[in-house]
Structures are given as C-alpha cells and as structure tokens.
C-alpha cells in the first residue's frame, strides 16, 4: 500500500517527531509527578496517526481529560462485544446502553465526516492517506471510494493505528523498569547519538530488540483466526481439522513455546540480536497477524515506537510510582497494562535532541551548480514499477535532479511503456 510504503513512512518522520516532542515536553513539565503511562501513550499514538494519515490534530496533550474520541471509541468497542454475545431481543431491552452506543457511534461518524469535508473544502497536495482515499481511482474500473466508505476507513485506521502501539510502548516501559540492566543498556545505546534523526533509528539495534521481545511476551493484539482451505488435515498432535474450520491462534502461548524460546518467561532482548530473530522458525513470532490480513501499518508503528522510546530514554530517568507493582492486564479490543504509573526525572536539558529534520540529500560533486535552460535539455524517460510508493518516489527524485545533468525527464509507469518503449531518449 503506497500510503504505508517505505518512502511514505520515512516522510512521516517530522510529523512523528512533532507529536513525540509534545510528549517529552509534557513529561518535563510534570517531572517527579505521577504519570498514567497508558493514558499518555494513548494521547501520543492517537495524535500521531491522525496527523500523519489525515493531517488532523486532536491536540490531546493540551487537554486535561480523556479525549472524547477515545472515550466514544472505547464505549463502542466494549458495547459491540457485548451486543454480539447477547440475543437480539435482549439488546432491544438494553435501552440506556443502546442509546449511548448509538450516540457514541454517531459522534465517531460525524468526526470522520468532518475531516473529509474539511479536506474537500480546502484541498492540498499532501501525499497522505486521506488524499489517496479521496483522489485515488481503481486503474481498471475508475471506481473511487465514497465518502461513507472513507469514513469507515478513517475510523479503522484511527482505532487500529493507536490502540496496539500505545499498548506496545506501555508494556515496553514496564519491562524496562522491571529489568534495570536492560534499561541501562538501552540508554547507553541512545546516548551514542547527539540527536535523533530518521537515520539514527535504523542504528538502534538493541532498542529494536527490546520492542520485539516485548511483543513476544505481550502481543497487544493477542490472537487471530485461521482456517484450512485445502480440505481435511491432521495437525501435529493428532488434531483433525476439517475444511473451513476456524482455528484460534493464541499468541501469548505461541510466543512461549519452550521448543522455540529458551526460558520463555524471561524478558531477554538479547535473544533477538546477532541473527537470533532471523533464525526463528517460521510463524513463531506473529504479533502483527498473519497472511493477507496481517497489519499493513507495521512499518508505521515500528518507526513511531522506535522514535518515542528513543526520545523517552534519551531525556528521562524512569521509576515506578509503586515499586511493588506487578503487571495487570486490561482488555478491550487490545491488551495493555492496568494501573501502571511511573515518574520521570530529566537526564538532560530538554530540546537538546528534539530535531524533526530528516537527513538532507547531498548533491553530487559532479553536478553543476546551476540548472540549464529548459529548452536546452535533452529528453529523458524514467519508468518505475511496484505499487508500494518507493519506486515512484525514487523515480521522481531522479527526474527532479535530471536537469542538473542536462536532461528534461518525464516519469511514467513501466506498464505504460509496454509495446512502445521510447527509442529517441534514454
């Protein structure tokens, strides 16, 4: 999906830094005070997905109470689960809860409709998910998404795009506090860098391993279903499965298989280093789901989590409010720690490493300092394939710099050149 392709995710770094910096500055103001970890990280991840995907600001860090979207979303999810388990006649009798359910659903719909209306009223050329949904067309049929469909997609991305990631970060901070030697190693890794840029994130191997190990022990979406499509089969252990039978995969159990994981109950990020993660048996680590329905937002969530955790570790000493706190799980659509609170104390002056700029591309030493006149340039065609967005972005970059070398470049898809590849230009 181009909106979540590698280049698109990389381009979201400044917006992610924008929101993560708000978290850091908020924690600086409340240094030494009790912090509700899940609440703060829910604010972080909701604001991040809204800004990156829809250029919309919830501004939850400037609100003293839980954002209405979060409350309405939680109410709808909980009530939906209950309604699915009750007979229809019982649901009709639950007048008060039904009224609240419809009120919260209507609010979610109205918010998303307003986001779409505002973009249609004030269009821009931002290459975000919302513009892709509004302007995108099926290449074969020309079909475009209706506003109603876009509304439902926005709700899906807002919910799925923040709940699991806030849980991941919350569990990660818990495990770091429970394992001070891991916390110390993580801070030593981030302290090697004076500022955190998009390129630095790729060098944080130990912090990356911490996130992977956290998801092994506490996959925030803890299960999914699969079915046999090939007919009757016998699973290891002699379990007979018929075609289209539903099988529930429970990730907390899968991720603790002693045949795969040495001392599976221990939090050991080192098991994910030095090729350990790459050598895992197939399907032994599945926190992002399975197959075609696996999470398409995985790269987005990973970059967001790396950045937020790196900034937190860079700027703060962490401690439990209650040193005797043991992990309790709260279940909604996903899982997250229940009652987890901590305090932070600054390690250094805030602002020292809050930079949102990405690394700049250096011009070739051979490139001329000025562009030639357009009419003097030779024609050139740059063709790209793939539909994830990376190839197109690279092709457009090449075309934009072609004039420095005496070419006037056009950009097209490889499919468009089938049968009539240009022969009068490179």
Residues forming the annotated binding site?
A: 295
Render 125-160 in DSSP notation, one character per residue.
Answer: ---SHHHHHHH---TTT-----HHHHHHHHHHHHHH
Select from 391, 290, 295, 308 the least CA-distant residue to 6: 391
- CA–CA gap between residue 38 and residue 324 (Å, rounded): 18
CA 160 to chain centre: 9
Strand-pair partners of 234: 240
Out of 61, 193, 277, 288, which one is annotated catalytic? 288
Radius of gyration of the chain (CA): 25
Select from 426, 344, 416 the least CA-distant residue to 37: 344
Q: Is 164 a catalytic residue?
A: yes
Out of 295, 358, 381, 397, which one is annotated catalytic? 295
Q: Residue 136 in contact with residue 144, Cβ under 8 Å?
A: yes
Q: Is 295 a catalytic residue?
A: yes
Out of 42, 164, 220, 334, which one is annotated catalytic? 164
In the annotated binding site for heme, the residues are 295
- CA–CA gap between residue 111 and residue 214 (Å, rounded): 33
Query: What angle separates helix 147-178 from helix 298-315, to the nearest 10 degrees?
Result: 40
Active-site residue list = 164, 288, 295
């Amino acid at each position: 999906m181009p909106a979540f392709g590698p280049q698109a995710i990389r381009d979201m770094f400044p917006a992610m830094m924008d929101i993560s910096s708000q978290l850091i500055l908020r924690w600086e103001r409340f240094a030494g005070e009790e912090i509700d970890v899940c609440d703060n990280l829910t604010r972080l991840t909701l604001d991040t997905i809204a800004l990156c995907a829809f250029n919309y600001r919830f501004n939850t860090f400037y609100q003293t109470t839980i954002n209405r979207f979060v409350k309405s979303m939680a109410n709808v999810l909980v009530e939906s689960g209950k309604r699915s388990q009750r007979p229809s006649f019982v649901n009709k009798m639950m007048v008060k809860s039904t009224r609240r359910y419809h009120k919260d659903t209507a609010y979610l719909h109205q918010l998303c409709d307003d986001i779409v209306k505002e973009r249609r009223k004030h269009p821009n050329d931002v290459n975000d998910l919302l513009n892709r949904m509004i302007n995108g067309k099926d290449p074969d049929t020309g079909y475009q998404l209706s506003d109603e469909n876009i509304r439902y997609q926005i709700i899906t991305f807002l919910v799925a795009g923040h709940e699991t990631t806030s849980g991941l970060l919350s569990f990660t901070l818990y495990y770091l506090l429970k394992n001070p030697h891991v916390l110390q190693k993580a801070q030593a890794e981030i302290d090697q860098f004076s500022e955190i840029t998009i390129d630095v994130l790729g060098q944080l191997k130990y912090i990356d391993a911490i996130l992977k190990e956290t998801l092994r022990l506490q996959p925030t979406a803890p299960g999914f279903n699969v079915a046999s499509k090939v007919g009757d089969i016998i699973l290891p252990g002699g379990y007979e499965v018929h075609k289209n039978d539903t099988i529930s995969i429970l990730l907390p159990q899968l991720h603790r298989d002693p045949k795969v994981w040495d001392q599976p109950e221990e939090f050991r990020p080192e098991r994910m280093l030095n090729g350990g993660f790459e050598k895992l048996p197939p399907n032994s680590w599945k926190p992002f789901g399975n197959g075609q329905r696996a999470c398409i937002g995985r790269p987005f969530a990973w970059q967001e989590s790396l950045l937020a955790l790196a900034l937190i570790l860079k700027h703060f000493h962490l401690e439990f409010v209650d040193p005797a706190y043991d992990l309790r799980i709260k279940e909604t659509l996903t899982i997250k720690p229940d009652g987890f609170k901590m305090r932070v104390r600054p390690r250094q002056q805030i602002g020292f490493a809050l930079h949102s700029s990405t690394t700049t591309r250096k011009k070739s030493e051979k490139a001329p300092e000025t562009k030639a006149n357009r009419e003097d340039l030779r024609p050139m065609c740059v063709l790209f394939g793939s539909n994830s967005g990376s190839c197109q972005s690279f092709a457009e970059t090449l075309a934009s710099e072609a004039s420095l070398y005496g070419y006037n470049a056009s950009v097209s898809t490889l499919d468009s050149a089938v049968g009539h590849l240009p022969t009068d230009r490179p």
